[in-house]
Structure 1
């Protein structure tokens, strides 16, 4: 799965920040309808979900994942690792030109790349 060029990186970051207030884990579920970010608290009494339509991205591609596995992709990420990437939405908005998110089911990795004015930042 590849999501190329987030139209609004700060909106994506604000969604992740809001989900961090609900729980300590972030469920990353790419589907045909879009990219769903979900979180539930430890007592399972609170739940939040943001669904980003494929139109939110410049390119949203699920074809590479469908060839490998026909089942749904669900990634559980630790919020402590994801939140610092998108924490400061104002500085991200001014310095990041493009963001690419890739999910590799073979190596069980979520890769976030920020294409900035002065280079590229890669986070696995």
Structure 2
């Protein structure tokens, strides 16, 4: 899965992650044909939240790596503490970040978040 966010989309995506961080300690990324779902559930399994971003929300959205494997849906579980700092300050993201690319690699079991900034590129695995 590969998707690209630009401008205000990065800010909205970050706010969704912050809202989900209030629900649980884990973030699930579910790339699907109808869009990218961000989900979280609390430790007692009594609260659940989901944001579904349609492919039209992204500048670019492709599921090439998902279709190659044909092994069913891909679900990535990430620790919220590792994802939250990436989208922490939306005002600094607005000023410095031009583009954000999120890639899910099934072969290497990695989620890569790249920020293309004015003064270079920052990436996180």
1:67 match: 68
In 1, distance between residues paired with 2:75 and 2:3?
A: 15
Partner of 2:39: 38
Question: CA separation in 2, counterparts of 1:21 and 1:90?
Answer: 20
CA distance in 2, matches of 1:25, 1:64: 23
User: How far apart are 1:14 and its partner, in Å?
Assistant: 0.4
Q: Which residue is equivalent to 2:87?
A: 86
Residue by residue, what CA displacement relative to the aligned partner does 1:9-49 show, whole Å, maximum 9, x if unpaired?
A: 11100000000000000000000000000000000000000
**Aligned-partner Cα distance in 1 for 2:86–2:5:** 16
CA distance in 2, matches of 1:65, 1:41: 27
Residue 118 (structure 2) aligns with: 117
Query: Across the two proteins, how many residue pairs are aligned to each other?
Result: 124
* Counterpart residue number, 1:5: 5
**Runs ≥4 in structure 1, deviation > 6 angstroms?**
none
Taking structure 1 as the reference length, the TM-score comes to 0.96
Distance 2:35 2:65 in 1: 15
- Where structure 1 has 5 or more consecutive residues not aligned to the other structure, the ranges are none
Extract unaligned runs of 5+ from structure 2. Answer: none
Q: CA contact under 8 A between 1:6 and 1:56: conserved in structure 2?
A: no
